[in-house]
A and B are shown apart, each in its own frame.
Chain A
């Protein structure tokens, strides 16, 4: 009877999780999804807590209280820091799976070795390898995103890197194989920590060669790993709820990673093992081309005459915290009856959907945020394309230059607009280190300076001039 009740509860929780994700298909119902998720989690926690084998309640209360103490501040970070918060939560998910797997192994070894069937051992080892490598990998990713001092920002590469990584991974798998075959051998409890060490090391080595521009893909892949480690835990504990929730998370990470890879015209293996950072050096030193720069006054006059303006935000907008100034510019233009749309490239920013969240925070209606494929249709009609801190996602070399590392990547076709203004912090090439042809086009004018300051001046020009009509 009790068993039936708890199973019904777990099935209900699984169904609520599926509904939670279903409701995310439009912003109108999305918040319902959060409530469904909270309800499902609460049911599952309460029912598990009520299991007769659970007796150390103060331990649970203590750990939950600590979880709240850390979780609440983590949910209040500025939205520009959401990518690193997300990476950090993947790390938490990974370490939780790894620790539970470790505890289960040593517990069963001493209390009932017959429980450690080959199938459970394979699942358990998959759980700890995925868990611990997600832990250190995500910590590295979070460190890179937060620009922590001791984590190298630039991709770290060395000759034979893929060989070293492959060797490390192969030895972890080999060790896993022999432990899974002999889980109760006298040496097994001593070899087990070695797998943990290998997984932890592999996580670090996997992320150090990866640069900032690849972060959206990497975060999505780590998301998938965190989900799969929960699945593996579900296999170990024979919990269909865990398997369902983990599979939802895993497939979500997978789909996001595929979307990110498509948006960069690259493969998974290329992102993880391609070491993007090295290729471009040869390209830069070439002929010296001239930028044309424009003053905010001049740009404001052109904007005022426009009837259709497309704003293309990139990571630079996030760095400069310029989204609220962008909103003021949006208001000024709207006031003049100008159509304003935002062109959102899938990999703009440091995680999937990053730009949408920042612009939504600045109260820009999501109906004016347009996906790349849709806005490219309208780009030739645009009077002005305003590039705010985006670089590679508007680089026409992706279409024209076969030698470019980004060749073939779908871009927002800012170069089709009648006039292009590009706001850029400095004259250095962008994150991927590639020269941007767009900046040298005869219809492009550069606005050099901090994005927030430049847009602030545009707003000042526009609001000052508005009285003269």
Chain B
């Protein structure tokens, strides 16, 4: 069982370095949409919730899972939608105003 530990730690450390490298380059203009985007992405915790909700487990366990699934899904939906809504507003010149739809 402890065999699982090392590969997952590797993934965590490497992913953190990728994260730091990529995020540092994100335009400062976009820090608000960045936050809502990473929010939606980390709501991928939804996969854990799906396994708990959908498994053949006692009712109380599945209820906990379903609430978690609902919360994650709300984050995914609102996170991606609001990120896109905000990004549509960033334009280079005033003439293209309103063409974002």
Give the B-binding residues of A (Cβ under 8 A). 13-14, 17-18, 20-22, 24-27, 30-31, 33-34, 37-38, 40-41, 44-45, 48-49, 51, 53-57, 59-60, 62-64, 66-68, 70-72, 74-77, 79, 82, 85-86, 89-90, 92-93, 95-97, 99-100, 102-104, 106-107, 110, 115, 117, 119-120, 219-220, 223, 226-227, 229-231, 233-235, 237-256, 259, 331, 344, 346, 351-354, 356-357, 360-361, 363-367, 369, 371
Knowing A60-B53, A365-B94 are in contact, say whether A21-B19 is a contact too (CB < 8 A).
yes
Number of B residues contacting the other chain (C-beta, 8 Å)?
Answer: 86
Do residues A67 and B74 form an inter-chain contact, with CB atoms below 8 A? yes
Q: Which residues of A contact B52 (CB under 8 A)?
A: 100, 103-104, 107
Do residues B19 and A351 form an inter-chain contact, with CB atoms below 8 A? no
A385 to B67, CA, bound (A): 51
Q: Which residues of B contact A38 (CB under 8 A)?
A: 80
Do residues A227 and B70 form an inter-chain contact, with CB atoms below 8 A? no
A344 to B32, CA, bound (A): 13
Do residues B78 and A100 form an inter-chain contact, with CB atoms below 8 A? no
A238 to B9, CA, bound (A): 10
Within 8 A of A (CB), among B62-90: 62, 64-90
Do residues B15 and A59 form an inter-chain contact, with CB atoms below 8 A? no
Do residues A353 and B72 form an inter-chain contact, with CB atoms below 8 A? no
Do residues A64 and B19 form an inter-chain contact, with CB atoms below 8 A? no
Q: Which residues of A contact B41 (CB under 8 A)?
A: 17, 20-21, 37, 40-41, 245, 248-249
- A sample of 22 cross-chain residue pairs with beta-carbon separation below 8 angstroms, ordered by A number, consists of A27-B90, A37-B40, A54-B55, A56-B55, A59-B66, A74-B78, A75-B85, A77-B82, A93-B45, A93-B71, A95-B67, A96-B45, A96-B68, A97-B45, A239-B48, A247-B11, A247-B12, A251-B19, A253-B35, A361-B89, A364-B94, A366-B91
Do residues B39 and A249 form an inter-chain contact, with CB atoms below 8 A? yes
Q: Which residues of B contact A241 (CB under 8 A)?
A: 44, 47
**A439 to nearest B CB, angstroms?**
28
Do residues B8 and A240 form an inter-chain contact, with CB atoms below 8 A? yes
Do residues A55 and B78 form an inter-chain contact, with CB atoms below 8 A? no
List of 6 A-B pairs having minimum Cβ-Cβ separation, nearest first: A67-B73, A71-B77, A353-B31, A251-B19, A54-B54, A75-B81
Do residues B47 and A44 form an inter-chain contact, with CB atoms below 8 A? yes
